[in-house]
Structure 1
Amino acid sequence: MSVIPYQVTEEDKRRFQEDGYWISPKLLDDDTIARLREAHERIWNSKYDGFGLPMHHFTMPANPHALRKFDNGWWINDEVHSVVTDRNLGHMAAELLNEDSIRLWHDQVIYKPGTNGQETSAGNVGWHQDYGYWRVSSTTNMVTVWIALQDTDLNNGGMMTILGSHKWGAVEGSDTFFEQDMGKLRAKFATRDWVEEPCILKAGQASFHHALTFHGSGTNYSSDPRLSVVAHLMPGDTYFREVRQRHDNLKLLGARPQPGMRFDREEYFPTLYTR
């Protein structure tokens, strides 16, 4: 399995720099999409490849409409590994971020259950900045690659971005992924122009959004789950900076990480691309 190569254009870069996100052409063929959908089922049923263990133990939520999220699926699933460490993803990220090398920060495997038309906030992803969780990293110049495994729009809980919000800088208290009251979060963060734009994707397309871009998602009204695989990517020279916040990736630097240590251990932060 591999990501279909694509040469990022100057117009693509302009859109990313202006809007804070960019939607790619189709990057996965139909066979790869099918295999990643099967990988979802294996992960949620604790069927792992190899002999390693996941970073976190996953427990099925009691609410059937609640979001399921698994970090570092690449550790225990070969199909996820193949995609989130693919050189072509790294090349596109390097072009958009104007960086010479790209590493994997971590991945996510996300499952949003369908409600078959039922109104519920249980599967909402609150308005947030990814960097709100990543402040231990030395740069905000990071990107999330959100890959759709089915056609995705607002009807099945597709992501929405706030246009240009990456220009606001790192906003205090933006680590609100798990807060589900979208209106309350909008009132909290909409101190500037707040323009919501849906990310409408065909299966196999990806949204590349900047680590400072506010985004979130609402209810999946369809009868089928919304499945995605997500690669969070960083420049190759990113290092640990001292802040109040902590992140589980610090554990991967050793028992007593020190500020200035680079997130460059290949077994945990593999290099996807170097110019």
Structure 2
Amino acid sequence: MSENTPTRDVVLSQAQSDKYWEDGFLFPLTIFSEKEAAETRAELERIEREWLDADLPLPLNTYKRVNAHLVMPLAARVATDPRVLDVVEGVLGPDIMVWSAEFFIKEPHTAHTVGMHQDLTYWGMGETPDQVTVWIALSPATVESGCMDFVRGSHKNPILPHKDTYSDTNLLSRGQEVAVDVAEKDKTHIELAPGQMSLHHGLTIHGSGPNQSGDRRIGLAIRYLNPNAKQLVAERDYAMLARGQDGQSNFVHVEPPTKLFSADALTLYDRVRSDQSAALAEGAIGSVPLYASS
């Protein structure tokens, strides 16, 4: 991020932390100024233009959508920004690791959605409370543009049955959806201005609708863990230590990339992707690719 002063510093109060644990989410939290958000969006879109036709091993969209922090310094920089970590610390404590970072982009006037689901269903970490997802808006996230919808208190459920739709319009790897009906009245619309963010628990039922606006809906979702989390399905898993110490050694530590799509970063990316697939693929249809290019 730039050195511009954010709109306001945010450290979670006890009341905010309590509300997060009661509701399973918290929003809006203003982390970056609109100018910083615009600069970050411009940097991302410059990468898109310059690397769209580059000779990369995988489609550019795959790198944006899966573990972007391993190959894109921009994603790692935002994920380790002290202002973001200050908020995360209010949920996870002082020891914080980045598990993944994903750009969720819906182009204007498109049908792409995210089905209502619980994140932890596919992470291979059981029902651990030692995680939180930060979602940072780089463009307006409104009902019209397909903002996220959360179901208040749904994180108090266990992992519920899910069905894999493999829908072409669902941005998730398996088109996964929770196999229960979610009434519209039970959804809280998470509208965010550029530079604002939300937090949500990995058991919170959530999804998002299509982008019917005239602008791209761009968000960066960052998954954080504390060292008590543990991978239970895959043989190995990886995390980037962002703050504090890791006294558990449940994850292989990775370093932030020093430049875009370097050879070393791409090699690491492939190793992480391969090892994490064991958790993501559990119960999936074998012939269906798990890492979509859109």
TM-score range, shorter chain: 0.7 to 0.9
In structure 2, what is the Cα distance between the partners aligned to 1:175 and 1:87? 37
In structure 2, what is the Cα distance between the partners aligned to 1:133 and 1:177? 14
Question: Partner of 1:65 in structure 2?
Answer: none
* Residue 151 (structure 2) pairs with residue 162 (structure 1): yes
* Residue 35 (structure 2) pairs with residue 35 (structure 1): no
Report 1:30-109 matches (<5 A): 30-45=34-49, 47=51, 57-58=58-59, 70-97=65-92, 99-109=93-103
Q: 1:102 and 1:178, CA in 2 relative to 1: closer, same or farther beyond 3 A?
A: farther
Q: 1:141 and 1:169, CA in 2 relative to 1: closer, same or farther beyond 3 A?
A: farther
SS at match of 2:38: helix
In structure 1, what is the Cα distance between the partners aligned to 2:181 and 2:209? 18
Report 1:175-190 matches (<5 A): 185=177, 188-190=179-181
- Asked if 2 retains the 8 angstrom alpha-carbon contact of 1:132 and 1:174, the reply is no
Q: CA deviation at 1:180?
A: 5.4
Q: CA RMSD in A?
A: 3.6
Matched to 1:36, the amino acid is T
- 2:237 aligns with one of 240, 250, 273: 250
Deviations 1:187-208 (A, max 9, x none): x224899711100111111010
* Residue 16 (structure 2) pairs with residue 23 (structure 1): no
Deviations 1:167-224 (A, max 9, x none): 002223377796858xx957x2248997111001111110100111111001111111
Which is further off, 132-141 or 73-82? 132-141
In structure 2, what is the Cα distance between the partners aligned to 1:152 and 1:38? 17
Q: 1:144 and 1:177, CA in 2 relative to 1: closer, same or farther beyond 3 A?
A: farther
Q: 1:141 and 1:168, CA in 2 relative to 1: closer, same or farther beyond 3 A?
A: same
Report 1:208-223 matches (<5 A): 208-223=199-214
Question: Partner of 1:129 in structure 2?
Answer: 118
Deviations 1:141-192 (A, max 9, x none): 31110001122211111110011110002223377796858xx957x22489
> Stretches of 4+ moved more than 4 A in 1?
174-181, 191-194
Aligned length: 239
SS at match of 1:197: strand
- Asked if 1 retains the 8 angstrom alpha-carbon contact of 2:97 and 2:239, the reply is no
- Structure 2 unaligned spans of 5+: 171-175, 241-247, 258-294
Which is further off, 2-11 or 225-234? 2-11
- 2:106 aligns with one of 102, 112, 116: 112
* Superposition TM-score, scaled by structure 1 size: 0.73
- Asked if 1 retains the 8 angstrom alpha-carbon contact of 2:38 and 2:194, the reply is no
SS at match of 1:189: coil
Q: 1:92 and 1:176, CA in 2 relative to 1: closer, same or farther beyond 3 A?
A: farther
In structure 2, what is the Cα distance between the partners aligned to 1:193 and 1:221? 18
Deviations 1:20-63 (A, max 9, x none): 10014310123321222123323434639xxxx98x822669xx
Question: Partner of 1:195 in structure 2?
Answer: 186
- Asked if 1 retains the 8 angstrom alpha-carbon contact of 2:164 and 2:177, the reply is no
- 2:142 aligns with one of 144, 153, 171: 153
Q: 1:101 and 1:178, CA in 2 relative to 1: closer, same or farther beyond 3 A?
A: farther
In structure 1, what is the Cα distance between the partners aligned to 2:156 and 2:73? 36
Q: CA deviation at 1:109?
A: 1.1
- Asked if 2 retains the 8 angstrom alpha-carbon contact of 1:128 and 1:177, the reply is no
Which is further off, 132-141 or 10-19? 132-141
Question: Partner of 1:257 in structure 2?
Answer: none
In structure 1, what is the Cα distance between the partners aligned to 2:182 and 2:105? 31
SS at match of 2:253: coil
